[in-house]
Amino acid sequence: MNRRLITIVVAVALAGLGSLMVYGYVHGADERALRGQRAVNVLVAAKAIPAGTAITRLVADGYAVTRKFPASSVPDDVLSRIEDVDSDMVTGSPVRPGELIRKPLLVPRGSSQTFTVPEGKIALTVELTDPQRVAGHVVPGSKVAVFLTRRILDSNGRPRGELTETRLLMSGIDVLWIGPAPKDKSAAKTEGSSLVTLAVTQRQAEKLVWSVSGTGGGRLYLGLEGGSSELSESGSGVSSFKVFK
């Protein structure tokens, strides 16, 4: 009996030692990744944050935690402390686990209008998965480019087999709002989807609607634009014939 008890105690001790070694390795990996770079504190969603959550409750209720990131990889509008914004702010749209807490995500409490449509534009909503919106980093206030991947059509407007092409559809598009897409229990999709509302002109809206319906039947991808992004809508894009040219 004593020998058996000793065996159990040794096993537990070894398991605890193993956990400490794993923690030490992971912690050391984080330090090695930041070595030689200026690190900054960033607020990151630890779990799903519902729309309307008070900024003052994010850390207190475990919705957000502080992480260190290399300064060169952090967008300018990311929050490093709760105190950096007005305490009356709330999340304007749902935030997924792992997303950075950015200032454009926040709106004044009790705001009757969550976004304003720019003059001369209309608001149009498309459904996109997280990979299609830059792994969830596209947020309200972002400026994006829209790419379309679709089957190549013949002169009669019919798909030419499985041949596909990808082109830049439009750029400089403002993101007004992002919310969760309704869940389809009968669908086999496992990717999370979001409804992304964009500010577009009539012509741009027509292109978007055609692109995801009917013979257009394609797939949209958003590209997050930076201050020095270089884009050309006049390019011929890439197709099954030109991808390696």
Do residues 66 and 155 share a domain? no
Quote the percentage of the chain above a pLDDT of 90: 22
Average pLDDT on 23-39 reads 54
Q: Identify the domain containing residue 64 by its residue range.
A: 41-108
Q: Are residues 45 and 136 in the same domain?
A: no
Q: Are residues 127 and 99 in the same domain?
A: no
In a domain, 113, yes or no: no
Question: CATH number for the domain including 102?
Answer: 3.90.1210
Domain end position, chosen among 108, 137, 156 = 108
Q: Assess if residue 127 is contained within a domain.
A: yes
Determine, yes or no, domain membership for 23: no
Q: Does 76 share its domain with 179?
A: no
Comparing 7-11, 45-49, 56-60, which segment has the lowest mean pLDDT?
7-11
Domain-embedded: residue 220: yes
Tokens (6 digits) for 22? 């794993």
Task: Give a yes or no: residue 46 inside a domain.
Answer: yes
Measured distance CA(168)–CA(206) in Å, rounded: 15
Q: Is 79 exposed, middle or buried (0-12, 13-18, 19+ CB in 10 A)?
A: buried
Who has greater pLDDT, 89 or 116?
A: 89
Do 159 and 198 lie in one domain? The reply is yes
Residues listed for the chain: 245
Residues 161 and 68 in one domain: no
What's the mean per-residue pLDDT of the chain?
77
Q: Would you say residue 83 lies in a domain? A: yes
Residue 165 shares a structural domain with residue 59: no
Q: Is residue 163 domain-shared with residue 206, that is, in the same domain?
A: yes
Please report which confidence band the pLDDT of residue 199 belongs to, taking 50, 70 and 90 as the band edges. Answer: very high
One-character DSSP codes across the chain: -HHHHHHHHHHHHHHHHHHHHHHHHHHHHHHHHHTTS-EEEEEEESS-B-TT-BGGGTTTTTSEEEEEEEGGGS-TTB-S-GGGS-TTEEESS-B-TT-B-BGGGEEETT-S-S--PPTT-EEEEEEEETGGGGGGT--TT-EEEEEEEEEEE-TTS-EEEEEEEEEEEEEEEEEEEEEEPPP-TT----S-EEEEEEEE-HHHHHHHHHHTSTTT--EEEEEE--TT----TTS--EETTTTT-
Number of structural domains (the chain) is 2
203 inside domain? yes
Over range 88-101, report the average pLDDT: 84
Q: Which residue has the higher pLDDT, 244 or 197?
A: 197
- Decide if 116 is inside a domain: no
Last residue of a domain, one of 78, 108, 138: 108
Could you tell me if 126 and 104 lie in one domain?
A: no
Tell me: do 170 and 65 sit in the same domain: no
**Contact present, 207 and 170 (Cβ < 8 Å):** yes
- The domain boundary, picked from 59, 84, 108, lies at 108
Q: Same domain for 178 and 93?
A: no
For residues 162 and 60, state if they share a domain: no
